[in-house]
Structure 1
């Protein structure tokens, strides 16, 4: 008996027969923390066959030689950090100028935060803000605005306290004559 196939049917049949062989995954071996499909002498290396499901391994970044973690820095007996090179050092006059700039920026931020704090305290009026016309008709709007003002005031108070702590931490301001 002679079978005659149409070319598209024959190609589809061949593709269907080849699909299971191509889709079947190779055997995956785990050798310690390494996964491979070419274990070589698997028994000597202590490799084990991984069974069930697909496996995807994504390589992580290799740590840099000079990088140190916080845990390594806190260990007793850990090496001290390397001294700064001459190119990284800043002369004392430039450092004083940088410190003065940092202090000026923090003082400006503190003045803005204190001004905002004064505005909010005046509007909040100790928990009883003056109701707006639309809030007279809808008391819940007044309660919502009061709660929002209270939250804003708490945030600004925290900002002012943080800026004051940061200024206290900086070196004292140089005497201006």
Structure 2
């Protein structure tokens, strides 16, 4: 009776295996798993069937294409990307003018901050709390330091430009 019940199950299982196809593991430097071979081809190549073993397929990550790989090299671009000397001089002059304007504005901000710091040494009427006075003076000192750093950075940038 048990054989009668199990027989249909074996028939269904074998039909399911045939529907999916037989998967072979073929030896070689890259081990190959395939279901595209006939049993004769698999036997000739020394492949074994895999039955009941789950197969996990892991996709390898795609290689990254960096900006340097896709961008043409400096030699490939050649003369077409070069700027004429006259045009470059105009660009440098424009950059120098913009930087000098920014430098002038930064120097004005620095002078104003230093004046405000010098005249702000006395406590104001709204600074009854001594901490408010300390906070204001610390902010003025920070502003002076920031403006001095701005002036120095702009001077360095101007010095880098060709004469």
| TM-score with structure 1 setting the length | 0.53
Q: How does 1:11-50 map to 2 (within 5 A)?
A: 41=26, 44-45=29-30
RMSD (Å), alpha carbons: 3.3
State the distance in 2 between where 1:152 and 1:139 align.
Answer: 20
Q: How many residues align?
A: 114
Preserved CA contact (<8 Å) 1:123 1:130? no
State the distance in 1 between where 2:78 and 2:102 align.
Answer: 34
Per-residue displacement from partner, 1:89-141 (whole Å, max 9, x unpaired)? Answer: 11111111100000000000000000000000001119x63322211x11110
For residues 57 and 115 of structure 1, do their structure 2 counterparts lie closer, same or farther at Cα, with a shift above 3 Å needed? farther
Name which of 62, 82, 86 aligns with 2:65. Answer: 62
When you count helix as a share of all residues, which structure comes out higher? Answer: 2
Q: Which runs of no fewer than 5 residues in structure 1 stay unpaired?
A: 1-37, 47-54, 69-79, 173-177
| TM-score with structure 2 setting the length | 0.57
Q: How does 1:130-169 map to 2 (within 5 A)?
A: 130-135=122-127, 137-169=128-160
State the distance in 1 between where 2:103 and 2:94 align.
Answer: 14
Q: Which runs of no fewer than 5 residues in structure 2 stay unpaired?
A: 1-22, 32-57
